[in-house]
Chains A and B, each alone.
Chain A
Amino acid sequence: MNSDKITKIVLLSASLIILLVSGGMVFSLVKGAIPTFHAFGLNFIISNQWDPSQGKEAYGALPFIAGTIMTSVTALLICLPLSFSTSLFLGEYFKDKKIARVIRLMVDLLAGIPSIVYGLWGFYVLRPLLIDLGLPNQGFGVFTASLILAIMIIPYATSLSNEIITMVPNDLKEAAYSLGATRYEVIFNVIIPSARSGIIAGYILAFGRALGETMAVTMLIGNANVIPTGFFDTGNTMASVIANQFGEADGLKLSSLIAIALLLFLITGIINAIGKLIIKKMA
C-alpha cells in the first residue's frame, strides 16, 4: 500500500467522523425533542409560558428566543462602530506604527479570554458601575448582558476585518492615490468595497458567538423566564436556560430543553446560511 492511499484513507475517515458527529448530534436533538413537539406542537416556539410546576407543566421557548435575539442584536449594534473603527485604525491608518502593534496584541488577548472571566468582570465591576448610573433591577438585565457580549465579540470582528483590510492589494490603493483620491476616499471607495465580504463574514462570526454565549450572559441577565419588556428588564437566553436547568431536568422538561437546543442549532444554521449568501452576493 502506498503512502498516497494511506493519506487518502486517513483524510477520508477524519472527514467521515465530522459527518458522523454532526449527523448524530442532529439525530439525538431531534429524537430528544420529539416528546415536546408531540405535547405542544409548534406552539412551543410561540408560547411564552415556562412553568415547570408538577401537574401543570407547560413549556414555551419564546422568552428565550426573544432574550437571545435581543442580547445578540444589541451586542452586534454596540460592537459594529467600535470594531469597525478599530480595524480601520489598525489595518490602514496606523498600520505599521508601534501603537497599532500594541492594540493588535490587546485585541488578540481579549479574543482569547474565557467567557467566565468576562462574566466575573461584568458581575463584580460592570454591574456595580451600572447600578451607580441608575440602572434598575440591580444592574441585571438584557442591557448589561448585551454590553458584556459586545465587549466579548469586538475582538473577533476586529481581528478578522483588520486581517482582510490589510490584505487589500497595495496596487489598488496606490492607483487611487495616483488619481488624486484623498485618504477618506480611498477607504470608503477602494478598501471597504474590496474587503466587504470578509468584513461581513467577521461580523457574522461575531454574531454567531453572541448567540451561543452562555456563562457570561447567565451571570448578568437575571435569569427570569419571561419575555423582557425592555432593554433594562431581566430575561433569559436559550443557551443560558439550558446551562442552568439541564442538571435537574427530566421528562418533558428535559425534552423541552433539548428542543430549545435544536432551535438554537437551527437559528445558528440559518444565520450562517444568510451570511454565506451575503458573502456570495457581495463578492
Chain B
Amino acid sequence: MKTFVTIVLSILLFSSCQNTNNKSGNKKISLTAAGATFPMPYYNMVFKKYTSEKGVLLTYGGIGSGGGIRSLSDKVVDFGATDAYLSDKKLSEMPAEVVHIPTVLGAVVIAYNLPGLDGIKLSNDLLEKIFMGEITNWNDPAIKKNNPGKQFPDLEITFIHRSDGSGTTYIFSDYMSKVSQEWASRVGTGKSLKWPVGMGAKGNPGVAGTIKQTKGAIGYIGSEYAFAQKIQTAKVQNSSGAYIEPSIASISAAAQGEIPADTRIMLTNSDDPESYPISGFTWIILYKEQNYNNRSYNQALGLVTFLDWLISSDAQGEAEKVHYAPLPQKAVEKAKAILRSVTYDGKVLLK
C-alpha cells in the first residue's frame, strides 16, 4: 500500500513540476481566443499570417459569439470575438471592464434558390411578408410586381433560418426590426428567435447547403459564404429606397457614418445611399486591465501588439481575399485609441 501511495504522490509531484517549468520557461507568447464563426475565415487567414511573420502562436476556436463572451468572462481566453456588441447590462455583468475592437465588416445576404432567376429585388415589405409567412409561393403577385419582366415559377417558398444561436441571426433580425414594425413587435432582435415559419439548419454552411439543395428556398447567410460559394443573392432596399446588391463596396459604404468612441454600433439600415443595408462590424473583446489571473506583462503586451496589427492596413488588406470589407479609416482610428487605453497594472501598454 505504501509503495502505491508513494508512486502516486511522486507522479503528481512530477507532473506539477513540469507545469511550472512550462510556465516560467515560456519564451514564445501564445494567445488563445474563441468566439464568433462569422469572421472565422478571415481570422484563420490573418492569424496564420501573423504567426508566420512574428512567431506568436495564435489559437482560435469558432464556438459562437455567446461562447466567446462566456470564455472571456470565465477568463479562459486572452480575447473573445462576437458579432453582436455587449449591451450595457451584459457589460456590467462581466467581472471587469471590457473593451470592443472592431476587426472587419461583413454583411448578411438574402440567399435563395430559383434556377435562372438571378438578382431578384425584394423590398422591405416583401421581406417582412415572406419571413412572417404571409407570402408562401414564389408566384405571388406582390413578388412579380416588384420584379417586372421576370417569370416566377409556381413554387412553395421554404424559409431556412439558423437552428443555432448566431451573430448572423442577430444582424439579420436587427435589420428586420428596424424596417418592419410587425417583425419588431412579434419576433424582435436576438441571436436566436421564435420563428414564425420555416425550418432550421445549423451554422452558415448548413443554411447555405440546405438552400443550395432545395428549390424555392430562401434564407440569410453571412456574405462571405454566399460570395465564396456563388449562391444567388437578392437585392435589398436600403434606407434611401435603392435596391443594392451586396458587394465589398456596398458593405464598406455602410460604415461611412459616425461611429461612437466605444465602436458599439449596429450598422444595419445605414443612411448612406450606396450602402448595403444588412451590414455590420464584428468585434474582438478583451479586458481593459490586463493584469488578471497572474498574466505576465509580456503576454498582455503581445496581445495588444497583435490587435494593433490586426486593424493595421497590413491585416486589413487581406480582408477582401476572403470576401469581407476592410474597416473604414474612422473605425481604425477609434479602435487604435481604444487599444491605447488598455493597461497593465494601471499603465498603458501601447504608446
Contacts and interface: CB of A to CB of B under 8 A. Distances in A.
Contacts of A263: none
A54 B189 contact: yes
A222 B214 contact: no
Interface string B150-170: 000000001000011110000
B4 A1 contact: yes
B193 interface: yes
- Size range of the chain A interface in the assembly: 20 to 34
A222 B202 CA distance: 10
B143 interface: no
A252 to B, nearest CB: 13
Contacts of B66: 247-250
B230 interface: no
A138 B194 contact: no
Contacts of B69: 250
Contact of A244 (B158, B187, B202, B217): B202
B70 interface: yes
Contacts of B166: 248
B193 to A, nearest CB: 6
A116 to B, nearest CB: 12
Nearest to B36: A248
B67 A244 contact: no
Contact of A249 (B2, B165, B217): B165
Given A1-B1, A244-B200, A138 B163 contact: no
A54 B202 contact: no
Contact of A224 (B4, B190, B191, B198): B198
A245 B202 CA distance: 9
B165 A248 contact: yes
Contacts of A38: none
Q: Which of B64, B67, B200 lies at the interface centre, i.e. has the most chain A CB atoms within 10 A of its CB?
A: B200
A225 B66 CA distance: 20
Q: Is the interface of B mostly helix, strand, loop or mixed?
A: loop
Given A52-B194, A138-B217, A250-B66, A245 B164 contact: yes
Nearest to B163: A223
A68 interface: no
A207 interface: no
A52 to B, nearest CB: 5
Interface in A1-54: 1, 5-6, 9, 50-54
Contacts of A140: 199
B199 A52 contact: no
A218 interface: yes
B158 A138 contact: yes
B165 A224 contact: no
B3 A248 contact: no
Contacts of A137: 158, 199
B244 to A, nearest CB: 28
B338 interface: no
A188 interface: no
A124 B158 CA distance: 17
Contacts of B158: 137-138
Contact of A222 (B63, B64, B200): B200
B189 A247 contact: no
A203 interface: no
Interface in B53-92: 63-67, 69-70
Interface string B117-148: 00000000000000000000000000000000
Contacts of A225: 194-195
A55 B189 CA distance: 11
Contacts of B322: none
Q: Which of A124, A234, A247 lies at the interface centre, i.e. has the most chain B CB atoms within 10 A of its CB?
A: A247
Q: Which of A52, A55, A140, A248 lies at the interface centre, i.e. has the most chain B CB atoms within 10 A of its CB?
A: A248
A123 interface: yes
Contact of A247 (B1, B63, B190, B193): B63
Contacts of B201: 223
B190 A52 contact: yes
A222 B199 contact: yes
B194 A218 contact: no
B165 A53 contact: no
Given A6-B4, A140-B199, A248-B65, A50 B194 contact: yes
21 contacts: A52-B190, A53-B194, A54-B189, A128-B213, A138-B214, A219-B202, A219-B206, A222-B199, A224-B200, A225-B195, A236-B163, A243-B202, A244-B200, A245-B163, A247-B66, A247-B164, A247-B165, A248-B66, A248-B164, A249-B165, A253-B192
Given A5-B1, A52-B192, A247-B67, 16 more contacts: A1-B4, A53-B190, A54-B190, A128-B213, A138-B158, A138-B199, A138-B214, A138-B216, A224-B200, A244-B163, A244-B200, A245-B163, A245-B192, A247-B66, A247-B164, A248-B67
